[in-house]
Structures are given as structure tokens and as C-alpha cells.
């Protein structure tokens, strides 16, 4: 019974996580009443603070401090607050992940993906060490690309186009990155067992806090 409850809870959580960005983008496109936009902006602010705090507990105060002006802006202009909350949330999460992955590439440190693979498999061959380091670099480039494209669209494209990128395409692009890496891994190491994407996410979530 407990396993079923956990499974149902996980499904509900995933559904909400997938639906919420669509609600935010729909609000940007439809320009709803002040109440709806303000509520979405405040939820976005809270979620961003929680995620950034999880990525870097030592710096969670920065996320909390950033939440204050967002709340003030949202109260002054719900639409501007919603756009700011979505943009800052997207930038903070991807910048946090870029810093998290990037600092493990410093000399003398173990690349983050290498550490995940070691906890999943135990012993790693030299080829696996090289591959997992390259995957860590690839994720850094992905996060940097997300930040760059978001900034470019914010400066040059309509709000609705930028919102479509940061809200609607964000999770699908992350999923696509996972799938491409998984396909490359299967091709590179066809005779080895491979953990699923869910296993990688679970081990990443269970890693020690930085």
C-alpha cells in the first residue's frame, strides 16, 4: 500500500511539474486578470527558491533575498512579475546547475557524472572515466546554451516567443538531452549494463549536498 501511495504521489507530482510551465505560458499569452498572474508569479518564486536552495544550500539566502523584490514587482504589476519570475527562475536554475556541474571539472575534482556513474556501477574503466567527464562537459554546455538562448530571445523576440522557450520547451529539451546521452552511451558501451534515466535522476538527487 505504501508503494502504491508513493507511486501515485510521484505521478501527481510529475503531472503538476509538467502542467505548471504550460499554465505560466498560457498566462503570458492570454494576459489574465491580476489575481491569476500574481498567484502564478508567487508560486514560481517559491519553487525557484526551493530548487536553488537544494542545488546550493550554502547560498539559499540568495534565492530568498531575490524572492523579495519579485514579490514586490508582482504586487505592482502582475504580468511583469510573472515574466520576471519565469525568467529569473529559468536563469537561476540553469545557472545553478552550470555552477554545480562546472566546479566538478576543476583539477583534482571528480566530474559530477563520473561520481554518479561510480555510485551506480562501482568500478569504472578508463574509457568510462573519459566518457563521463565529457558528458559532464556536455551538460555544462547545455545549461550555458539555455541561458544564452533565453537571454537572446528576451532581448530580441516578443514576450510570448521567449516564454515558449523558457516555459514550454525547457523540460522537453532536458528530456531530449537525457535521451541523446543515453543513446550515445548505448552506442559507446554496447556490452555493458546501463542504468535507466530514472536511476540517474535518483542517484543525482541522493548525492551529498555540495
Whole-number pLDDT of residue 24: 74
Mean pLDDT value across the chain: 76
Helix (H) / strand (E) element for 10: namely helix 2-30
Whole-number pLDDT of residue 142: 97
pLDDT at 173 > cutoff 80: yes
Q: What is the mean pLDDT of residues 169-182?
A: 91
| Full-model pTM | 0.77
Q: Which of 200, 197, 198 is nearest to 120 (CA)?
A: 200
Q: What is the mean pLDDT of residues 109-124?
A: 86
Alpha carbon separation from 152 to 12, 90, 97, 98, 147 (Å, rounded): 34, 14, 20, 18, 9
d(CA 53, CA 64): 9
Whole-number pLDDT of residue 13: 44
Q: In which band, very low, low, confident or very high, does the pLDDT at 151 lie, cut at 50, 70 and 90? A: very high
Task: Please indicate whether residue 147 or residue 192 has the higher confidence score (pLDDT).
Answer: 147
Q: Which of 143, 105, 131, 142 is nearest to 194 (CA)?
A: 131
pLDDT at 176 > cutoff 50: yes
Write a three-state SS string for 129-185. Answer: HHHHHHHHHHHHHHHHHHHHHHHHHHHHCCHHHHHHHHHHCHHHHHHHHHHHHHHHH
pLDDT at 86 > cutoff 70: yes
Amino acid at each position: 500500500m505504501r508503494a502504491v501511495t508513493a507511486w501515485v504521489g510521484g505521478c501527481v507530482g510529475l503531472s503538476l511539474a509538467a502542467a505548471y510551465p504550460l499554465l505560466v505560458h498560457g498566462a503570458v499569452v492570454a494576459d489574465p486578470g491580476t489575481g491569476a498572474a500574481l498567484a502564478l508569479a508567487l508560486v514560481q518564486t517559491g519553487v525557484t527558491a526551493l530548487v536553488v536552495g537544494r542545488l546550493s544550500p550554502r547560498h539559499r539566502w540568495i534565492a530568498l533575498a531575490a524572492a523579495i523584490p519579485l514579490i514586490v514587482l508582482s504586487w505592482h504589476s502582475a504580468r511583469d512579475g510573472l515574466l520576471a519570475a519565469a525568467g529569473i527562475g529559468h536563469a537561476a536554475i540553469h545557472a545553478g546547475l552550470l555552477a554545480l556541474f562546472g566546479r566538478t571539472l576543476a583539477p583534482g575534482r571528480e566530474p559530477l557524472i563520473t561520481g554518479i556513474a561510480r555510485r551506480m556501477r562501482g568500478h569504472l574503466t578508463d574509457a568510462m572515466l573519459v566518457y563521463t567527464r565529457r558528458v559532464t562537459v556536455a551538460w555544462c554546455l547545455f545549461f550555458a546554451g539555455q541561458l544564452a538562448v533565453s537571454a537572446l530571445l528576451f532581448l530580441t523576440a516578443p514576450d510570448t516567443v521567449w516564454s515558449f522557450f523558457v516555459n514550454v520547451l525547457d523540460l522537453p529539451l532536458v528530456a531530449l538531452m537525457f535521451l541523446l546521452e543515453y543513446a550515445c552511451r548505448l552506442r559507446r558501451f554496447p556490452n555493458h549494463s546501463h542504468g535507466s534515466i530514472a536511476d540517474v535522476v535518483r542517484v543525482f538527487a541522493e548525492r551529498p549536498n555540495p
